[in-house]
Structure 1
Amino acid sequence: MPGSSRKTSMNVSVVIVTYNSQDCIAACVASVLTQTGVTFEIIVVDNASADGTLARLKTLDVKTIASPENLGFGRGCNLGFAQATGRYVYLLNPDAYLVGNSSLADLCQAMDDHSAWGMAGTMVCDADGKIESEPQVQYPGQRHVSRDFSKLPGRIAWVIGASMFVRSDIYRELGGFDPDFFLYGEETDFCLRLRELGYEIGYVPEVTLRHIGGASSHGVDPYVVSVRKQKGILNFRRKHYAPEDVDYLTRRDLNRARFRALANSLLGLLQPAHSRAWEKSRRYRGIWETSRAFLSRTDRTP
């Protein structure tokens, strides 16, 4: 493996989880293979892709783990981590690529310089170079809940899962991602649990990731995507917020989504040229119906 050596300890295990990623995985892997100054390995977990992802992976210099089922992002990362040997694990989206060849070395140096950090995020930009995501200082809906987060270490609450650089011993201490999360919300839960263990989350803006985005949801019905996202949000709230706060936030989601779903449906009927109105309507309907189903269950499971 380029950048790695059997005679030295492994610095970084890069774990990538793919699902129907044949069009983007080669560029992602190529950006890792150019890295210098560190030893690394690349582990790709394929979540039962139905396209040519597995065939493409056979042409790349990576270790491939083929899952017989779609495990989702978090469980896929856990499967890859089980094979990792690096003292750091870098979780990287397949629809993204690193800019520059010192990214991994810079991340290692930043973590070595900040012993209080359990993990770090990077600059994440879109395909045009515009900032897509920055570290968040609050959890979803935090200002509406009774829980006090002020005693948690560090200022950063969570970073996007497309680019997460974690100390392997801390990943192991956390038990990895919670398998109850399928595709959305898992990184927020992971970051909160890491801080609850007493570690800070760092940020290394010198390292830039270009995130094309949407590889796992390309061509998927917007209703299905929004249902998955809302289930992740509800799962996070149920796990970390008081029941009365969960109910309040979910009812607020339901009412807002219902209004927007109906408004966009009406717009689509009155002005057919607004083709995205129907797409938006289905997206909001997914939030509306998922929230309604959640509130109807006495055990409050998404």
Structure 2
Amino acid sequence: MSVINRPAAPVGIETDEVTVVVATRNRPDLLRRTVPRHHAPTIVVDNASDQPLSVPGAALVRLPENIGAAARNIGVRQAGTPFVAFADDDSYWEPGSLARAARIFRDHPRAALLTAKVLVGPEGRLDPVSAGMAAAPIGTPPGAAGPSVLGFLSCAVVVRRDAFLAAGGFSPELFVYGEEALLAMDLAAAGHQLSYVPELVVRHHPEPAGRDNRARSRREARNRALTALLRRPPAIVARTLAEVARTRPAALPDIARDLPWALRHRRPLPAAVESALRALS
């Protein structure tokens, strides 16, 4: 790992309590459009892009290999602020959102994660995940910053840095696609509040061209099954494996290969968290 540059804070900084961490690989054109829109100190973690990156206005950490979502953990450890916001190379936080997030964290000491409203594309359509969170299916605890959540989009959260690191961050073994679920479970199991806060807004401009949807679907199925093996009761594990066998059988060899790891790290959730997950399903 090498730190290439540590620039001064960007022009228009709205808070020095939040660092934006962006994990990327081989998408420099997107970074040039989104990094200038982050109104806070920004760290870009390069997952071993094929060509060296140059990211004006951000600190750049170059990794020797692609470690997937766990690259964000590197950025969090490099950050010197109490709160860290994640963004993808095709997303950015709307002005004012990061400063508001810092104030909300100060006012809600039990909060470890705030997830924003996500507006997709140039037309700004509401992401279905945000719509689901707004419905508050598992309620809003007294004094919480917003409706409780047990999942999130990784490009649209701000975390309390010490709570994130204590929970272990994103699992390197899960790599990418569906890695958020395990972290959400572990933060909730530690007694933290995770809240949907629609006054925080992220703009997301995904570019699906060139992605292998079959490979993504296979990895998502693998990660869903491994997450169940790591934290859920046997009946849920069996149901999840049966669903994967029926809908994504190509993922079964991947699950079998990583089964010993999952069983070694199995840690069932507290009853209250498991009950909330059942309510969501």
Where on the TM-score scale, by shorter chain, does this alignment land: which range?
Answer: 0.7 to 0.9
Structure 1 residue aligned with 2:45:
45
**Distance change >3 Å, CA 30–CA 298, structure 1 → 2:** closer
Structure 1 residue aligned with 2:106:
112
1:233 is aligned to 2:224: yes
Using the alignment, how far apart are the partners of 1:2 and 1:221 within structure 2?
A: 36
Using the alignment, how far apart are the partners of 1:55 and 1:245 within structure 2?
A: 43
Using the alignment, how far apart are the partners of 2:178 and 2:109 within structure 1?
A: 26
Deviation at residue 221 of structure 1 after TM alignment: 2.5
**Distance change >3 Å, CA 292–CA 168, structure 1 → 2:** closer
Structure 2 residue aligned with 1:140:
none
Using the alignment, how far apart are the partners of 2:17 and 2:262 within structure 1?
A: 39
Contact 2:85/2:158, CA 8 A, preserved across alignment:
yes
**Distance change >3 Å, CA 91–CA 298, structure 1 → 2:** closer
Structure 2 residue aligned with 1:131, among 126, 135, 152?
126
**Distance change >3 Å, CA 2–CA 292, structure 1 → 2:** closer
- Superposed CA deviations along residues 232-257 of structure 1, whole A, max 9, x for unmatched, are 212211111123421222212332x2
Structure 2 residue aligned with 1:158:
151
**What amino acid sits opposite 2:88 in the alignment?**
N
Secondary structure of residue in 1 paired with 2:173: coil
- CA RMSD in angstroms comes to 2.7
Structure 1 residue aligned with 2:77:
82
Please give the residue correspondences for 1:21-40 in structure 2 after superposition, counting only pairs within 5 Å.
21-32=27-38, 35=39, 40=40
Using the alignment, how far apart are the partners of 1:112 and 1:237 within structure 2?
A: 33
Secondary structure of residue in 2 paired with 1:162: helix
Structure 2 residue aligned with 1:71:
67
1:55 is aligned to 2:16: no
Structure 2 residue aligned with 1:94, among 89, 93, 98?
89
Using the alignment, how far apart are the partners of 1:136 and 1:239 within structure 2?
A: 25
Deviation at residue 175 of structure 1 after TM alignment: 2.5
Contact 1:237/1:246, CA 8 A, preserved across alignment:
yes
**Distance change >3 Å, CA 64–CA 24, structure 1 → 2:** same
Using the alignment, how far apart are the partners of 2:92 and 2:228 within structure 1?
A: 31
- Output the TM-score relative to the length of structure 2: 0.76
Identity in percent: 24
Contact 2:30/2:89, CA 8 A, preserved across alignment:
yes
Deviation at residue 16 of structure 1 after TM alignment: 0.5
- Output the TM-score relative to the length of structure 1: 0.71
- Superposed CA deviations along residues 155-209 of structure 1, whole A, max 9, x for unmatched, are 3212211111011121222122222210022211111111111111122211211
Secondary structure of residue in 2 paired with 1:27: helix
1:288 is aligned to 2:249: yes
Secondary structure of residue in 2 paired with 1:49: coil
| Number of residue pairs the alignment of both structures matches | 240
Contact 2:244/2:251, CA 8 A, preserved across alignment:
no
Structure 2 residue aligned with 1:17, among 9, 14, 23?
23
Using the alignment, how far apart are the partners of 1:212 and 1:239 within structure 2?
A: 33
**What amino acid sits opposite 1:94 in the alignment?**
D
**Distance change >3 Å, CA 115–CA 250, structure 1 → 2:** same
**Distance change >3 Å, CA 95–CA 238, structure 1 → 2:** same
Between Structure 1 and Structure 2, whose CA radius of gyration is higher?
1
- Superposed CA deviations along residues 68-90 of structure 1, whole A, max 9, x for unmatched, are 111101x1011111211001111
**Distance change >3 Å, CA 250–CA 112, structure 1 → 2:** same
The answer for unaligned runs of 5 or more in structure 1 is 138-152, 258-286
Using the alignment, how far apart are the partners of 1:98 and 1:250 within structure 2?
A: 37
**Distance change >3 Å, CA 46–CA 180, structure 1 → 2:** same
Structure 2 residue aligned with 1:264:
none
Deviation at residue 295 of structure 1 after TM alignment: 6.3
Secondary structure of residue in 2 paired with 1:166: strand
Using the alignment, how far apart are the partners of 2:233 and 2:22 within structure 1?
A: 34
Secondary structure of residue in 1 paired with 2:154: coil
The answer for unaligned runs of 5 or more in structure 2 is 1-7, 134-143, 264-281
Using the alignment, how far apart are the partners of 2:216 and 2:60 within structure 1?
A: 27
Contact 1:135/1:160, CA 8 A, preserved across alignment:
no
Deviation at residue 121 of structure 1 after TM alignment: 0.5
Structure 2 residue aligned with 1:181, among 174, 177, 201?
174
Structure 1 residue aligned with 2:203:
210
